[in-house]
Amino acid sequence: MAPHPTGAKRDRDRLRQEMTEAGCDLAQISMEMRTRFRMRPREAWRHAHGLTLQAAADRISDLGGARRGVEVAADASLVAKWEKWPAASGRKPSAQVLVMLAELYGCDAADLLDYEDRQALPPADLQVLEHRPAPAPRPSSTLLPPPSAAEPQGTALAEAAADESAAWAMWAESTNVGDLACEQLLANTRSLARAYLAAEPPLRVFAATRALRDKVFALLEGHQHPRQTQELYVLAGYLCGLLAWISSDLGEPHQADTHGRTAWLCAELADHPGLRAWTLSTRSKIALWDGRMREAVTHARRGASDRPPGTVGVLLACQEADVWARLGATAKAQEALTRVDEARTAQHGPDDDIGGLFSCDDFRRVNYTTGVQLRTGGATAARDEATAALALPTRRAYGTEAQMRITLATAHVTLGHPEGALEALQPVLALAPEQRLAPVVARLREFAGDVARSPMTDGRSASHLQAAIEHWCLESAPRRFALPPGAPGTLAGGLAD
């Protein structure tokens, strides 16, 4: 950053860009603006957003116009005066204006005040802006307290009661997050759920998800409308679900379970069927790869029992079938596959809330069904369906594709076609170490065991393949993640504090 900033626009823009790239939030940027350029808090928050006076005035006018009885016709000059107050050249912003400014900047109204402002503001305004409850009534032996010199009387009493109701209404209407901010948080959550399926390093997605979760948690500690509170709980639940999924993929089932339980709490508090189902799907996945098969089935069945909207019903039935197939319960696995088709037919409601990881497209479904077919004696069907799915020119998650290629390679080994197995595995063996997630490692080790028990055992190609798999697993993401910080082989792009 510039060592001697002048406060000119280029200095402010440079500071904002550098702090944003460093992962700082708006509160940190506004505080640095205040300290470095000696700005008042309202001006600092505006510059943290990169807004001009006129842009801020236009947005405040729009917010006021959308609320009956609180219309505000702001211009650049008025916004500048609000920022300068309580200086003589300034103009006192009303409590309603401060609430709208807080909504515009995505902060609490109290964040827009410094000590000088607090000294100049009327106590009633401070009580509203700081969300202080009204004083408790004094105890009395009768329902109506006796009048005293300190209490207003007659018309003054009615006026005081009306003022108190108005002050409470202003607090009830205030919020520390606006609808636009909620939309942006939702868009960011969707972006992270998609990024995790792409080639983005898992630890980078984890760090970004953790930061966004913390932001949502902080907002929930403030005050907002009940509808916005529900939206924030839903977002917090999906973000915890994503942290749970990534933790499991990095070989950390205990931490994954913790995130999963928090996601479930958010789903219950929001009373959101879709989040409940996706949370149970996530917990079923965690239990499966941790060897807790009974829990995996229980979570999958519980999630499907409420007939959730979107594609999660398909995934839950797939997960149940996968568990039964691994346990050798062929009949139960086939019954679950039937429920997969039933869930596809009965799929209802809008598209999935988040998408990406929290969606079950046809490729993901076929990855499960071919795996079940392979484990229940249908190697030929598994080979043919996996080959057809992999031939389609569609974008797909690298982890899902890797598992389907392992299924295809295993089918070739079962059918006595070692050359086909080697060809199917080449893209898997070419994955970068940070993409070698725990489920893929487990599947590849299982494949190596199948090779050892097959007629390929004595062949040179089989020995070469087993050596390549062992070396591949030694460079996996879970193993590198478990190394001490700074040790050789530690994953790049580690978790941020």
- Looking at residue 131, its pLDDT comes to 54
- Report how far residue 463's alpha carbon sits from residue 448's, in angstroms, rounded to the nearest whole number: 10
Cα 42 from Cα 57, distance rounded (Å) = 13
- To 5 degrees, how large is the angle CA 207–CA 208–CA 210? 65
- The answer to whether 340 and 369 have CB atoms below 8 angstroms apart is yes
How many Cα atoms occupy the beta-carbon half-sphere of 423 within 13 Å?
8
> Which pairs with CB-CB distance under 8 Å and at least 24 residues apart come from 11-19?
11/37, 12/37, 12/47, 13/50, 16/47, 16/48, 16/50
* Residues 244 and 210 sit within 8 Å (Cβ to Cβ): no
**How many of the other CB atoms lie within 10 Å of CB of 254?**
10
Strand partners, 355: 358
Q: Tell me, what's the pLDDT at 457?
A: 60
- Indicate the angle between helix axes 202-220 and 226-249, nearest 10 degrees: 150
- Alpha-carbon distance values, 347 to 86, 351, 352, 442, 459 (Å): 59, 10, 11, 32, 48
Token readout for 176 is: 């520390």
Q: Report which of 408, 371, 368, 401 is spatially closest to residue 386, judged by C-alpha positions.
A: 408
Q: How far apart are CA 446 and CA 443, in angstroms?
A: 5
User: Quick one: which of 467, 408, 464, 475 has its CA closest to 436?
Assistant: 475
Beta-bridged to residue 39, according to DSSP, are: none
What domains are defined for the chain?
A: 9-132 (no CATH), 175-360 (1.25.40.10), 365-481 (1.25.40)
DSSP E strand stretches across 377-451 = none
Contact indicator for 128, 98 with CB cutoff of 8 Å: no
Asked whether the beta carbons of 76 and 44 are under 8 A apart, the reply is no
CA dihedral 122, 127, 128, 134 (to 10 degrees): -130
Report CA dihedral (463, 466, 468, 473) to the nearest 10 degrees.
-160
pLDDT by residue, tens only, the chain of 497 residues: 344 445 678 888 889 888 888 888 899 999 988 888 889 999 999 999 999 988 898 888 877 665 544 566 788 888 999 999 998 888 888 888 888 898 889 888 888 998 888 888 887 777 766 654 433 343 433 344 444 445 677 787 887 787 778 777 777 777 888 888 899 999 999 999 999 999 788 999 999 999 999 999 999 988 888 999 999 999 999 999 999 999 999 999 999 999 999 999 999 999 999 999 999 999 999 999 999 999 999 999 999 998 898 999 999 999 999 999 999 999 999 999 999 999 999 887 668 999 999 999 999 999 999 999 999 999 999 999 999 999 998 888 999 999 999 999 999 999 988 888 889 999 999 999 999 999 999 999 999 888 888 876 666 667 777 788 888 988 888 888 876 655 555 555 443 32
Report how far residue 394's alpha carbon sits from residue 197's, in angstroms, rounded to the nearest whole number: 14
Q: Cα–Cα distance between 372 and 337 in angstroms, integer?
A: 8
Instruction: Check residue 332 and give its pLDDT.
Output: 97
Within a 10 A sphere around the Cβ of 56, how many other Cβ atoms? 26
The SS3 call for residue 358 is strand
The residue type of 58 is: D
CB 300 within 8 A of CB 309: no
* CB burial readout 386-421, b (16+ within 10 A) else e: bbebbeeeeebbbbbbbbbbbbbbbbbbbeebbebb
CA distance 445 to 440: 9
Four-CA torsion 286, 295, 312, 252, nearest 10 degrees: -10
Q: What is the pLDDT of residue 60?
A: 85
Task: In whole angstroms, give the CA distance from residue 188 to residue 236.
Answer: 12
**pTM confidence score:** 0.69
For every residue of 441-478, which 3-state class applies, written as one string? HHHHHHHHHHHHCCHHHHCHHHHHHHHHHHHHHHCCHH
CA 497/CA 97 separation, integer angstroms = 36
